[in-house]
Amino acid sequence: MKWKHGFVWMFLLLSSVSVWAQPKNTSHASQVWLAYFNQTRLSNKWGLWGDFQIRTREDLVSDFSTGIARVGLTYLVDDNVRLTLGYGFINNFPANDNITVSQPEHRPWQQVQWFTRNKRTRLMQYIRLEERYRKRYLSNTELADSYSFNFRMRYNIFYQVPLHPEGIVPGKLSAIINDELHINFGKQIVNNYFDQNRLFLGLNYAFDASNNLQFGYLNTFIQTAAGNQYRNINALRVAYLQNLDLRKGR
């Protein structure tokens, strides 16, 4: 439907405003984000989710900022709608040289994901709810026994178009535009209900029907807990995606 495609482009255009119109009190960083994503179908109704990520801190290759290991159990309503319940462990490496201890985070999550496919384009969306339990700092060298907590809602929209007349097929490149909006809520959120927006522009190379490599430019615009401080990250993102089907006869 043409109106659906128009909505996609309008949403992505509005979401990308933060890339160009940023407050003066914004710090900047250049990073590399590496990721592996896996969705494995075990049966007609059940599947598994896994993703593992590592991100650098500054100047593309200086130290690490974040490590993520996330798993989930997926129920397939049908071929186009999936419900996932999962858990993630996130390690936040020291944000600067004054901090010497990493901050761990436990993150249960729930998600509904749906796909819209036609002969030439692919549209994927999901809404994810996260419960974030982050260890508090006692000092730059010691963690407390308590946790901070908040909810976060994420809306992700992913649009893929072919760059070859044959369409989105193995051995050919396709273009990707992807945006994800993060919203915080909960008693401990005071100044930053808007958490961040991630806009990705890149390419997808399909090795076959199950294995894809994605690479391109990612802009992440973050509002910190202080409310009046922002962070703009320009990153090179490289991700390997596997979609496996273990059903017999497939």
Residues of the chain with pLDDT under 70: 1-24, 249-250
CA distance 126 to 180: 9
Q: Please compute, for residue 58, the number of CA atoms within 13 A of its CA located in the half-sphere on the CB side.
A: 8
DSSP 8-state code for residue 141: T
Relative to beta strand 230-245, strand 103-117 is: unpaired
Burial class (CB in 10 A: 0-12, 13-18, 19+), 69: middle
Relative to beta strand 173-185, strand 81-92 is: unpaired
pLDDT score of 194? 92
pTM for the model? 0.89
pLDDT score of 22? 61
pLDDT score of 3? 47
pLDDT score of 12? 55
**CB-CB contact of 164 with 129 (8 Å):** no
